[in-house]
Amino acid sequence: MAMPPFHLAFPVRDLEEARAFYGKLLGCPEGRSSPDWIDFDFHGHQIVAHLSPAEAGHRNTSAVDGDNVPVRHFGLVLPMNEWHAMADRLKAAGIAFVIEPHVRFKGLPGEQATMFFLDPCGNALEFKAFADPSRLFAKQ
């Protein structure tokens, strides 16, 4: 059975910044838009950047395997080769990582490659990958 696409709306302080980051850097095709929001195709999922400057950005973190992970974040689970390509693309673009690309939970069922970074509006994103994708929901 095909997985249904999810929908996520999130705040941004500037639509043109969002358009450049999500559309150009992350390669998400733009869908519908208005003066107050933009739809993006986020690898088959619908994300919508809504103009709401006071709400944009992350504020709190939570400890996960020795890292301070932004509590409010979203992202993708990519195939490992695409994860490496994304990390290289972000590094080449000069993106500052909140958490550098690395492997966490080493040797455990949930071992995964992960990286955290912020969009220009301060929203946190996580891209991760599993050497064995069937371990996505593996319990420790």
81-119 pLDDT, tens per residue? 999 999 999 999 999 999 999 999 998 888 999 999 999
User: How many folded domains does the chain comprise?
Assistant: 2
**Is residue 80 classed as helix, strand or coil in its secondary structure?**
helix
The boundaries of the domain holding residue 78 are 61-135
pLDDT(16) > 80: yes
Q: Is residue 65 part of a domain?
A: yes
**Whose structure tokens read 């301070």?**
68
CATH code of the domain covering residue 49: 3.10.180.10
Q: Is residue 11 domain-shared with residue 73, that is, in the same domain? A: no
Number of Cβ within a 10 Å radius of residue 129: 22
Q: What is the DSSP letter of 81?
A: H
Write out pLDDT tens, residues 19-57: 999 999 999 999 999 999 999 999 999 999 999 999 988
Q: What percent of the chain has pLDDT over 90?
A: 81
Whole-model pTM: value is 0.91
Q: Is residue 1 part of a domain?
A: no
E strand map for 20-79: 30-33, 37-42, 45-51, 61-64, 67-70, 73-77
